[in-house]
Amino acid sequence: MIKIGIIGAGRIGKVHLESISYRVPNAVVKAVADPFMNDETKAFIEGFGVKEIYTDYKKILADPEIDAVLICSSTDTHASISIEAIGAGKHVFCEKPVDQTVEKILDVKKALEGKDLKFQVGFNRRFDHNFAAVRAAVENGSIGKTHIVKITSRDPAPPNPAYIKVSGGIFLDMTIHDFDMVRFLSGSEVEEIYVNSAVLVDPAIGEQGDVDTALITMKLANGALAVIDNSRKAAYGYDQRAEVFGSKGMVATANDTLSTAVISDENGVTGEKPLYFFLERYMESFATEMRDFVDSVVNDKPVKVGIEAGLQSVLIGLAARKSVEEHRPVKLSELL
């Protein structure tokens, strides 16, 4: 049984607290820290039997009984707290992105050198049942050599424009998951990226210097091509689909729905809309990724999503931003 400390008690910190408490064997949450701890959040945490609740995360790092920490704090703190946690001898699960700069991610990578510690990045979609099945079909050769990867990723509603200031924008906040999916589903690295983008959902997003709609094309190291289409607003719900086309066939996934019931009547044929939000759609994948992290720590196995995945996804995101700014294809090698 390993003891875990959670740093950051916002939405994703609460998701992991619930997952570990109910769905993850061999682990228990010993402490939670958040500088903005309030009575409501404290009561929520106490409801899971956690007694050590702090505003200072350093108390978690100083606790010799805590084996691993989950870094669920604001993005701008991920890298610095990761380095502190590594220095304290803790295994680390860090939410994405590790940082919005290549330099700080490389600092984390350097801190891990020579350390017998696990470091996993929170790309939960790799643990989703649909995308895992697509990856398995590619990996076992069912579709032959990969030619085209297509990903559709559309949120049900745009974020508050004020959030754009701290999120890193669409490519480092939203599309970063899709960039990781391209690498995961193809088994290859991105070499070049080109983005066409627009502000079609909310003018306030454009006023923050960001975009809310994008078509992204990529060239991969294995010769395949990849396409991502993003929107900050899909009126019908959370649209999450993927397809990989190859020399022998194709594998594709549909959206998860509340049920597969279809009504056929004189007005037409109708079914359920996609699950509305990411917590509904991906709750099980959050639990699965946490079980995998704990298993890596308990049984000394390599993590499936390490620091290199964190680095590559941010590199792609920065290249995408550069493509928008300079209206041209950008090679990832330009950023290194």
Q: In this structure, what are the phi and psi dihedrals at residue 244, rounded to the nearest 5 degrees? A: -125, 125
- The share of the chain scoring above pLDDT 70, in percent, equals 100
CA distance 41 to 63: 22
> Which tokens in the block code for residue 240?
């999450």
Q: What is the pLDDT of residues 8-24, one digit of tens each?
A: 999 999 999 999 999 99
Helix/strand/coil percentages in the chain, nearest 5: 40, 25, 35
Residue 68 DSSP label: E
Residue 75 pLDDT > 80: yes
Q: Other C-beta atoms within 10 Å of 267: how many?
A: 7
Is-contact 194 323, C-beta < 8 A? yes
Q: What is the DSSP string of 283-330?
A: HHHHHHHHHHHHHHHHTT---SS-HHHHHHHHHHHHHHHHHHHHTS-E
| Distance in angstroms between the alpha carbons of the first and the last residue of the chain | 41
- pLDDT band with cut points at 50, 70 and 90 for residue 163: confident
What does the pLDDT read at residue 271? 93
Q: What is the pLDDT of residues 99-146, one digit of tens each?
A: 999 999 999 999 999 999 999 999 999 999 999 999 999 999 999 999
CA distance 143 to 335: 33
Is-contact 122 220, C-beta < 8 A? no
Where in the chain are the domains? 2-117, 126-277+313-335
Residue 90 pLDDT > 80: yes
Of the options 3.40.50.720, 3.40.50.2020, 3.55.10.10, 3.40.50.300, the CATH number for the domain spanning 2-117 = 3.40.50.720
Q: Which residues are bridge partners to 263 per DSSP?
A: 270
CA distance 140 to 131: 14
- pLDDT band with cut points at 50, 70 and 90 for residue 336: confident
Q: What is the pLDDT of residues 203-249, one digit of tens each?
A: 999 999 999 999 999 999 999 999 999 999 999 999 999 999 999 99
Q: 2-117 and 126-277+313-335: same fold? A: no
Q: Which CATH superfamily is domain 126-277+313-335 in?
A: Dihydrodipicolinate Reductase; domain 2 (3.30.360.10)
- pLDDT band with cut points at 50, 70 and 90 for residue 165: confident
- The share of the chain scoring above pLDDT 90, in percent, equals 94
Is-contact 19 286, C-beta < 8 A? yes
Residue 47 pLDDT > 80: yes
Amino acid at 118: K
What does the pLDDT read at residue 281? 83
Average pLDDT along the chain: 96
Residue 158 DSSP label: P
Tell me the average pLDDT across 33-38: 97
Q: Which residues are bridge partners to 150 per DSSP?
A: 227, 243
Is-contact 21 79, C-beta < 8 A? no
Question: In the structure, how many helices (H) and strands (E) does the chain have?
Answer: 12, 15
Tell me the average pLDDT across 299-314: 98
Chain CA centroid to CA 232, Å? 16
Residue that is written with structure tokens 């509603």 in the block: 157
What does the pLDDT read at residue 333? 96
pTM of the full structure: 0.95
Residue 56 pLDDT > 90: yes
Residue 26 pLDDT > 80: yes
CA distance 175 to 231: 10
Residue 76 DSSP label: G
Amino acid at 18: E
**Considering Cα of 171, then 279, then 301, then 88, what sign does the dihedral take?**
positive
Q: What is the pLDDT of residues 265-293, one digit of tens each?
A: 999 999 999 988 777 888 999 999 999 99
Residue 25 pLDDT > 80: yes
What does the pLDDT read at residue 124? 97
Nearest to 31 by CA among 48, 51, 13, 46: 51
What does the pLDDT read at residue 182? 98
Q: What is the DSSP string of 112-138?
A: HTT----EEEE-GGGGSHHHHHHHHHH
Q: What is the pLDDT of residues 176-209, one digit of tens each?
A: 999 999 999 999 999 999 999 999 999 999 999 9
